[in-house]
Each structure stands twice: as structure tokens, then as C-alpha cells.
């Protein structure tokens, strides 16, 4: 088996794990408040990341103050914001709908780059944004779920996607090169520090915590966070950034399959929405491939384990 093919398998498995966060978050939403679940997730993951750093002799970086501030903001957006909004949204929204909305991440990231960084919007990016928007509209505005609860849930999940897009944008502002394992440990540490005060405020609202919710938190911490991280970066070592970007399209597909595992029926409008989102991601991937072939540098691939 070639190294490239091994990379394809590792990236595919990583995206399957990312998609599985939808089913884990759905279970968590039924038994734990969002910030409490987030704090528990990082309490489990951080010691393991620190243990991996020690086992691999990975040093702590010496960073300028500006980079420390960016890392703190990244943790607030990508680690805490994404997780808490996703859990909150899944209290109101079917998991299949959430999978389609999460699939808009590459398009949302491109849109944020245009709006905030002032990058010139290419026609392909605009087309991808329209396709992604059509996919989201297909699942949100439908007669049988036109009530305010479904719209609120979709808005919360889309907010989670925006938080992850901001995480990616902030990462481009770092002046220092940080090893992936170190970055993961820092995100877990900062994420836990941010979530704990809010988790304490949630204590009066917390009811009886069931074993399924706690097991889902442990799964989220151990499998998508740590396992997804190891698989994703192992795959990145074997393929180009452009090739890796294509595999992000597997995350919403795996999320839709996870919804089916929860026993949710998959409606025609959800399939249409998924198709539109996948076409949007494919159009961005083709654009990145064309840029690479014509001599332009490919954009860095997003980190997914911090979600």
C-alpha cells in the first residue's frame, strides 16, 4: 500500500470521526448543559495530550504575547464556541440537519476570508457560497419544520460553523510555527479554562446526569478529539493540502449516516441539501487544484480536532 493511499484512508477515518461528533453531541444535549459538557471534554483530553507531549519529547513553544492572545481567542471560538453551540443547537434540530449545516464549513471559511481579510471574491467561491446556502435553505425552510424552534436550532449550529471558521482565520494570524500536538494541548487547556466559569454558572440548571451523556462526553474527548487529531495529521504528512481539503466533504456525509444510526428518518430535502453542500465543497476543491496546477500555492488545510 502506497503512502499516499494510506494518507487517504487516515484522512477518511478522521472525517468519519468528525462527523460522529454530531451523534455524540445529540446524546450529550439530552443529559448535560453545554458548557459543563465542554469543560468535562477538555478535562479528559488535556492530561492525555500532555502525556503524549511528554512521551514524544515535544517542547512547549516560546511565543510572543500576540500569539498567546490569538491562541486564547482561537480556543474561545473553535474549542468552546463550536462545541457549546453545536450541543445547544442539537436540542432543537435533527442530527441530519446539523450534518448538512456543518458541511458548509469550507465555504463559510472562504466567505470569512473575503469579508474580514479583504480577499478578492473569485467566481468559484461565490458559486460555492450560493450552493451551500441553497443546501441550508433546503433543510431549514420546509413546511413541516417551519416553526421557530427548528430555525433557532439551525441558527445555533450555523453559529458553531462560523466559530470554527473564525478559528481557521485566527490561525493564519499566528507569527510562530507551533507543532500540532502542542497546539492541541494549548487548545484543550485554554478551552477548559474558558468553559469552567460558565459550567459553574450552569450548576443550578443541571439536573440528573445520565450515563449515556457522560459516555458521549468521554467518547467526544477520546475519539474525535484525540483520535481524529492523530489520524488527520498522519494523513496530512502523506498528501498535499489540496488533496486533504477534498476529504472535508466526508464529514457531513458521516454526520448524515450518524443521524440514521440515531433512528432519524432521512428526508428528501435533507438529501438535496447534502448534495448542494457537497457540490459546493467540490467546486472549492477543484478551484484549489487548478491554482496548484498553475503554480499558485494551495491554502493551508483546516485543523479539525479542536472542534
- 304 assigned to some structural domain: no
In a domain, 305, yes or no: no
Q: Which residues of the chain register pLDDT less than 70?
A: 1, 117, 119-122, 124-126, 128-129, 132, 136, 139-149, 206-208, 240-259, 261-262, 264, 270, 281, 284-307
- How many domains in the chain? 1
Is residue 302 one of the residues assigned to a domain? no
Instruction: Confirm whether 240 is domain-assigned.
Output: yes
* pLDDT at residue number 200: 93
In a domain, 248, yes or no: yes
Distance CA 258, CA 23 (A): 6
User: How far, in Å, CA of 288 to CA of 285, rounded?
Assistant: 5
* Position 275 in a domain: yes
What does the pLDDT look like over 220-237, one tens digit per residue?
999 988 888 788 777 877
Question: Does 307 fall in a domain?
Answer: no
Residue 97 has a pLDDT of: 78
Return the closest-CA partner of residue 191 out of 47, 301, 35: 35
Compute the half-sphere exposure of residue 42: CA atoms within 13 Å on the CB side of its CA.
28
Question: Could you list the residue range(s) of the whole structural domain that residue 14 is in?
Answer: 3-293
Q: Is residue 66 domain-resident? A: yes
* pLDDT on residue 165: 82
Amino acid at each position: 500500500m502506497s503512502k499516499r493511499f494510506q494518507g487517504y484512508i487516515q484522512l477518511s477515518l478522521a472525517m468519519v470521526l468528525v462527523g460522529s461528533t454530531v451523534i455524540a453531541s445529540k446524546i450529550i444535549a439530552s443529559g448535560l448543559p453545554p458548557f459543563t459538557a465542554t469543560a468535562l471534554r477538555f478535562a479528559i483530553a488535556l492530561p492525555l495530550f500532555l502525556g503524549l507531549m511528554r512521551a514524544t519529547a515535544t517542547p512547549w513553544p516560546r511565543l510572543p504575547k500576540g500569539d498567546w492572545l490569538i491562541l486564547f481567542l482561537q480556543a474561545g471560538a473553535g474549542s468552546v464556541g463550536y462545541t457549546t453551540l453545536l450541543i445547544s443547537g442539537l436540542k432543537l434540530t435533527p442530527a441530519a440537519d446539523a450534518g448538512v449545516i456543518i458541511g458548509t464549513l469550507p465555504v463559510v471559511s472562504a466567505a470569512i476570508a473575503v469579508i474580514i481579510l479583504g480577499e478578492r471574491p473569485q467566481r468559484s467561491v461565490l458559486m460555492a457560497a450560493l450552493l451551500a446556502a441553497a443546501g441550508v435553505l433546503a433543510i431549514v425552510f420546509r413546511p413541516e419544520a417551519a416553526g421557530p424552534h427548528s430555525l433557532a436550532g439551525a441558527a445555533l449550529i450555523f453559529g458553531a460553523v462560523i466559530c470554527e471558521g473564525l478559528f481557521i482565520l485566527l490561525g493564519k494570524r499566528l507569527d510562530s510555527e507551533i507543532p500540532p500536538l502542542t497546539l492541541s494541548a494549548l487548545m484543550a487547556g485554554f478551552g477548559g479554562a474558558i468553559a469552567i466559569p460558565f459550567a459553574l454558572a450552569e450548576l443550578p440548571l443541571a439536573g440528573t446526569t445520565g450515563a449515556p451523556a457522560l459516555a458521549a462526553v468521554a467518547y467526544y474527548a477520546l475519539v474525535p478529539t484525540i483520535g481524529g487529531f492523530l489520524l488527520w495529521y498522519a494523513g496530512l504528512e502523506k498528501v498535499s493540502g489540496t488533496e486533504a481539503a477534498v476529504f472535508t466533504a466526508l464529514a457531513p456525509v458521516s454526520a448524515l449516516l450518524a443521524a440514521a444510526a440515531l433512528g432519524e428518518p432521512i428526508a428528501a430535502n435533507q438529501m438535496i441539501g447534502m448534495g448542494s453542500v457537497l457540490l459546493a465543497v467540490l467546486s472549492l476543491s477543484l478551484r484549489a487544484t487548478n491554482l496548484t496546477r498553475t503554480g499558485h500555492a494551495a491554502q493551508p488545510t483546516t485543523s479539525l480536532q479542536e472542534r
